[in-house]
Amino acid sequence: MSKLETAMDTIVNVFQYYSSNEGDKFKLNRRELKNLLQGELSSYLQVHRDPQRVEAIMSDLDMNMDGSVSFEEFVAMVTELTVCSSSFFQDYTTPKINEMK
């Protein structure tokens, strides 16, 4: 398996591990998201010690405002955190949607 395929499998497996605990296995509720962030992104949370951070992340991620985070919304978060935390993207400017057409 390639590095990218392994990374993709890991993202799916992490999401599935946390989303399968309660209710809809295809979505993360607030408690599942909090557990995922604490279990998998603890160093990120340590940098951002704001107690309201999980709630803010949930609100930002929940694009369709259904009170849960879908896999697509979760992947958007992973992408955003990767771009924000990687030195490779330090000088990267996010293209505007109309520029991508």
Predicted confidence pLDDT, tens digits, the chain (101 residues): 999 999 999 999 999 999 998 889 999 998 998 899 889 988 766 655 555 655 666 677 777 777 889 999 899 888 877 777 777 877 776 665 445 44
Note the pLDDT of residue 97.
47
Q: Dig out the tokens for 85 from the structure.
A: 């935390």
Task: Please report, rounded to a whole number, the percentage of residues in the chain having pLDDT higher than 70.
Answer: 74
Query: Are the C-beta atoms of residues 75 and 67 closer than 8 Å to each other?
Result: no
What is the C-alpha separation between 75 and 66, in angstroms, rounded?
17
Q: How many domains does the chain have?
A: 1
Instruction: List, as one string, the DSSP characters of 66-99.
Output: SSSEEHHHHHHHHHHHHHHH-GGGTT--PPPGGG
Q: Which domain holds residue 69?
A: 3-99
CA 62-26-10 angle, 5° bins: 95
